């Protein structure tokens, strides 16, 4: 029987210390996710989407509230959560195979060298890199590097997959290709997945539910929209379904309602929705980005 409360994010808040004093980015974020469900979190820039994901990953601690995954409280990073960042974060001196093996070595220490290699090669094959096992990141395109990141996350056999705008740095063609790759692997394994994205169309294509966040500071869950389309999904079929545009308009309508101080979302040629920045005060948005090395068995090394 599917656990309908597999991932519980209970009244989570996060406050950061700034030059102007304590500033609360997220407050009272409350969400229950079923085992095997794919949920996307969408909201304006600065609303704390990535902060929520970081707390689920164990890379940041909630100021208030708690997070429970498969009956265990999340207090630190761990191999039960595979993380895919916007940038692939590969170690440049290692091959694609070695970058994937890095995590497998941590979660399967008793496996033989051949068994570990077979697992890494299997997942690199699933993402379309079966012929690039021995190539280093400098020899790979941006899209290929992100494929390695996906392979590395799935190879951990995590309980939960966390995706922080995984295709945000890619061109529209590569983005669509990797969405299909992600859909295919996810459909096979049905790992509980939480994805942060700015792309409304992407959220509809991939998700069972879309969580819409209010603007920060003090951002929280504003609305949850169920995606009514059966799986497997075909992008071209969805685009011909009037229900797709009804869901899309509902999502965009919510976001437009949050963006009182900027232009409405526009739709570029790649079908994604560009959201205006939320009206936040300086120094209240999420902490500045820090270059991260890849997560090893769920642990992210700074």
Give the residue with greater pLDDT, 231 vs 262: 231
Contact 242, 224 (CB under 8 A): no
pLDDT at 48 over 60: yes
Q: How many CB atoms lie within 10 A of CB 17?
A: 8
Nearest to 295 by CA among 131, 113, 107: 107
Over residues 120-173, the pLDDT tens digits come to 999 999 999 999 999 999 999 999 999 999 999 999 999 999 999 999 889 999
CA dihedral (175, 177, 178, 179) positive or negative: positive
- Please tell me the predicted confidence (pLDDT) of residue 284: 30
Rounded (5°) CA angle 295-164-203: 145
Where does the pLDDT of residue 4 fall: very low under 50, low under 70, confident under 90, or very high at 90 and above? confident
- Please tell me the predicted confidence (pLDDT) of residue 275: 36
Over residues 244-257, the pLDDT tens digits come to 999 999 999 999 99
| pLDDT average, residue stretch 64-89 | 93
- Please tell me the predicted confidence (pLDDT) of residue 87: 87
| pLDDT average, residue stretch 35-58 | 95
| pLDDT average, residue stretch 212-224 | 94
Domains and CATH numbers, the chain: 7-300 (3.40.50.300)
Give the separation between CA 224 and CA 120, rounded to whole angstroms. Answer: 36
Q: At what angle do helices 113-126 and 96-107 cross, to 10 degrees?
A: 120
pLDDT at 281 over 80: no
Where does the pLDDT of residue 242 fall: very low under 50, low under 70, confident under 90, or very high at 90 and above? very high
| pLDDT average, residue stretch 75-83 | 93
Where does the pLDDT of residue 216 fall: very low under 50, low under 70, confident under 90, or very high at 90 and above? confident
What is the pTM assigned to this prediction?
Answer: 0.84
- Please tell me the predicted confidence (pLDDT) of residue 285: 34
- Please tell me the predicted confidence (pLDDT) of residue 104: 94
| pLDDT average, residue stretch 178-197 | 94
Supply the DSSP string of the chain, one letter for each residue.
---TTSEEEEEEEEEEEETTEEEEEEEEEEEEE-TT-EEEEE--TTSSHHHHHHHHHTSS--SEEEEEETTEE--S--TTEEEE-SS----TTS-HHHHHHHHHHHH-TTS-HHHHHHHHHHHHHHTT-TT-TT--GGGS-HHHHHHHHHHHHHHT--SEEEEESTTTTS-HHHHHHHHHHHHHHHHHH--EEEEE-S-HHHHHHH-SEEEEEPPSSSB-EEEEEE----SS--HHHHHT-HHHHHHHHHHHHHHHHH-TTSPPPB--TTS--BPPPP---TT-SSPPP---PPEETTEEP-
pLDDT at 115 over 80: yes
Q: Order of strands, edge to edge, in the sheet holding 64-69?
A: 21-33, 7-18, 64-69, 72-73
What percent of the chain lies above the pLDDT cut of 90?
76
């Amino acid at each position: 029987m599917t656990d309908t409360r597999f991932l519980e994010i209970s009244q989570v808040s996060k406050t950061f210390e700034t030059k102007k004093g304590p500033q609360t980015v997220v407050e009272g974020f409350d969400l229950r996710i079923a085992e095997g469900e794919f949920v996307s979190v969408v909201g304006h820039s600065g609303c704390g989407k990535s902060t929520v994901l970081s707390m689920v990953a164990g890379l940041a601690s909630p100021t208030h509230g708690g997070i429970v995954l498969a009956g265990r409280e999340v207090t630190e990073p761990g191999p039960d959560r595979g993380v895919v960042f916007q940038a692939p974060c590969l170690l440049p001196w290692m091959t694609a195979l070695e970058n994937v093996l890095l995590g497998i070595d941590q979660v399967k220490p008793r496996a033989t060298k051949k068994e570990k290699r077979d697992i890494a090669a299997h997942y690199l094959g699933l993402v379309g890199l079966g012929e690039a096992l021995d190539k280093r990141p400098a020899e790979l395109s941006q899209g290929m590097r992100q494929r390695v990141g996906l392979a590395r996350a799935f190879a951990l056999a995590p309980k939960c997959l966390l995706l922080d705008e995984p295709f945000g740095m890619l061109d529209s063609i590569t983005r669509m290709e990797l969405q299909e790759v992600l859909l295919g692997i996810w459909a096979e394994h049905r790992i509980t997945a939480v994805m942060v994205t700015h792309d409304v169309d992407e959220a509809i294509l991939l998700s069972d539910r879309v969580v819409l966040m209010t603007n920060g500071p003090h951002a929280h869950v504003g609305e949850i929209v169920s995606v009514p389309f059966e799986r497997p999904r075909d992008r071209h079929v969805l685009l011909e379904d009037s229900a797709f545009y009804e869901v899309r308009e509902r999502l965009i309508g919510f976001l437009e309602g949050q963006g009182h101080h900027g232009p409405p979302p526009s739709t570029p040629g790649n079908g994604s929705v560009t959201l205006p920045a939320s009206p936040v005060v300086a120094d209240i948005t999420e902490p500045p980005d820090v270059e991260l090395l890849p997560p090893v068995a769920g642990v992210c090394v700074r």
